[in-house]
């Protein structure tokens, strides 16, 4: 019966019989696999996201392309491995920084552009982090509306390594215009949510794509006053006396930070319900990479090993929840291998749009996986770091490539993720026959990237973003 339903859905979309679904992607920053109640987190309270999982599905093998902000977001937007589009690093760091000469190439085709081609309204409210120069901003990549930050909120004068980086004040943008410098970060989640809610209310009568990439819970942690109730009085007093931004002190606000994000998800879901469009709106909640690294013991990878920056599972397997009442049966736990790169071709198919055909797209249509529990369309998944291949997943097997040691020692490892999700038992000596298969996959992938890669975008003279001049009244 499920297969019949899937066939009917596919045919109805192809023939234009079904209403185009709305798409909402909520993307947090540096959230670990264990940082949701429905994924076993006891250090957080996330009732609305847990409810969303109960009404939809938990995706327990859902991956991002890279364990860092910029390459992960580039893959989401384009449906491509970050190395294919030269977005593994910024021009001077693992991510794009302020006044970076590098960014997502305007010639790339994003989810927003694909959906916009068939009449979708498009908005992003939150953190972009794919280049801060005008040529690279989301308004040049298919988004009609943008309110938020061009990069991470720690790229500011209070960064612990400020002596090295000399970061300028943090800009807040409306479209392509800087409207504030050093905005009150405690209000980020509330302000982003207000904009997302307004976008839904204004476009409820037409199909839309809403992208909500929260800057948090990336450090430094920020929480509005509404969610400070219950915080230890000593922490509250210390915050009142805070000079600049105390990263270590703010680590104690992780639970409250996640509670506010959970509230934000609830507001979005409630707005969809009030607008009468909840049934045919696909809402996905996930993160850009694993639990943060900068002295952040507050968030967790759950049963996974590794954190942000690592191609162990904890760096790239995300706590993901999807809700689509019209097609996804409630209360499912789906362990099929899927990725953020799959969203572009999947959304295109469901919207009746054409995914790009003039270039290689790594993502696959996962409609049948989500609705029907079909097997993954990926032969393998390739774990890339900034500019190199680190590991491969093939079925339940994960192979960490030999990275070499000064003494010539072989560092290759093999894990069975079905039996050993924490990657603790290297069984490579028991399965030498698999090594040849993985090495063959690695060579084919590298050859493909060599033949079919595209350049990032570059500008000759990047400039610092500055506050727009105020008109005289």
Residues designated catalytic: 69, 129
Phi, psi of 438 (to 5 degrees): -65, -40
Nearest partner of 26 among 224, 263, 252, judged by Cα? 263
Strands 57-63 and 338-339: parallel
Nearest partner of 43 among 259, 242, 249, judged by Cα? 259
CB 319 within 8 A of CB 35: yes
Tokens of 326: 């019209």
Which residue's entry shows tokens 């469009």? 277
* DSSP character at residue 145: E
Helix 254-274 and helix 188-202: axis angle, to 10°? 10
Tokens of 33: 């696999």
Nearest partner of 310 among 403, 406, 437, 416, judged by Cα? 403
Phi, psi of 87 (to 5 degrees): -115, 30
CB 118 within 8 A of CB 348: no
DSSP result, 96-159: --TT-SEE--TTS--HHHHHHTTT-EEEEEEE--S--SGGGSGGGTT-SEEEEESS-TTSSTT-
Identify the bridge partners of residue 281 per DSSP, sorted by sequence position.
22
Contacts of 468 (CB under 8 A, 6+ apart): 177, 178, 179
Nearest partner of 348 among 328, 364, 325, judged by Cα? 364
In angstroms, the CA 133 to CA 421 distance is: 41
Nearest partner of 344 among 113, 150, 123, judged by Cα? 113
- Residue 112, CB half-sphere, CA atoms under 13 Å: how many? 22
In angstroms, the CA 137 to CA 40 distance is: 37
Which residue's entry shows tokens 């590991």? 391
CB 63 within 8 A of CB 316: yes
């Amino acid at each position: 019966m499920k297969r019949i339903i899937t066939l009917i859905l596919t045919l109805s979309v192809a023939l234009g019989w079904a209403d185009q679904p709305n798409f909402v992607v909520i993307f947090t920053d540096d959230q670990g696999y264990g940082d949701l109640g429905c994924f076993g987190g006891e250090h957080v309270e996330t009732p609305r996201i847990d409810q969303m999982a109960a009404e939809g599905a938990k995706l327990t093998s859902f991956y991002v392309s890279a364990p860092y902000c910029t390459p992960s977001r580039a893959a989401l937007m384009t449906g491509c491995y970050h190395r294919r589009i030269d977005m593994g690093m910024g021009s001077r760091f693992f991510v794009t920084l302020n006044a970076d000469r590098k960014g997502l190439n305007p010639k790339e085709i994003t989810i927003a552009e694909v959906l916009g081609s068939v009449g979708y309204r498009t908005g992003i409210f939150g953190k972009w982090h794919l280049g801060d120069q005008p040529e690279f901003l989301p308004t040049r990549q298919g988004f009609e509306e943008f309110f938020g930050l061009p990069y991470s909120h720690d790229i500011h004068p209070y960064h612990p390594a400020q002596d090295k980086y000399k970061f300028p004040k943090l800009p807040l943008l409306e479209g392509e215009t800087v409207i504030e410098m050093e905005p009150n970060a405690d209000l980020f989640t509330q302000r982003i949510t207000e904009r997302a809610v307004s976008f839904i209310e204004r476009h409820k009568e037409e199909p839309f794509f809403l992208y909500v990439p929260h800057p948090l819970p990336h450090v430094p942690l920020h929480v509005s006053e509404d969610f400070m109730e219950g915080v230890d009085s000593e922490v509250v007093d210390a915050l009142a006396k805070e000079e600049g931004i105390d990263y270590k002190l703010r680590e104690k606000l992780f639970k409250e930070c996640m509670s506010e994000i959970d509230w934000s998800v609830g507001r979005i879901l409630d707005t969809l319900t009030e607008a009468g469009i909840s049934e045919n709106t696909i809402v996905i909640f996930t993160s850009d990479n694993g639990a943060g690294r900068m002295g952040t013991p507050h968030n967790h990878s759950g049963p996974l090993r590794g954190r942000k920056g690592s191609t162990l599972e904890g760096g790239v397997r995300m706590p993901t929840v999807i809700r689509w009442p019209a097609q996804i049966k409630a209360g499912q736990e789906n362990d099929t291998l899927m990725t953020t790169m799959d969203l572009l071709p999947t959304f295109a198919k469901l919207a009746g749009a054409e995914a790009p055909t003039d270039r290689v797209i790594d993502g696959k249509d996962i409609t049948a996986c989500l609705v029907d529990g079909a097997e993954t369309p990926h032969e393998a998944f390739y774990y890339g770091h900034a500019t190199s291949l680190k590991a491969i997943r093939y079925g339940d097997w994960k192979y960490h490539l030999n990275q070499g040691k000064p003494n010539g020692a072989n560092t290759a490892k093999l894990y069975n993720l079905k039996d050993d999700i924490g990657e603790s038992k290297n069984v490579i000596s028991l399965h030498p026959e698999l090594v040849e298969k993985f090495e063959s996959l690695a060579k084919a992938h590298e050859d493909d990237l060599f033949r079919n890669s595209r350049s990032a975008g570059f500008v000759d003279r990047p400039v610092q973003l500055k506050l727009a001049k105020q008109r005289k009244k």
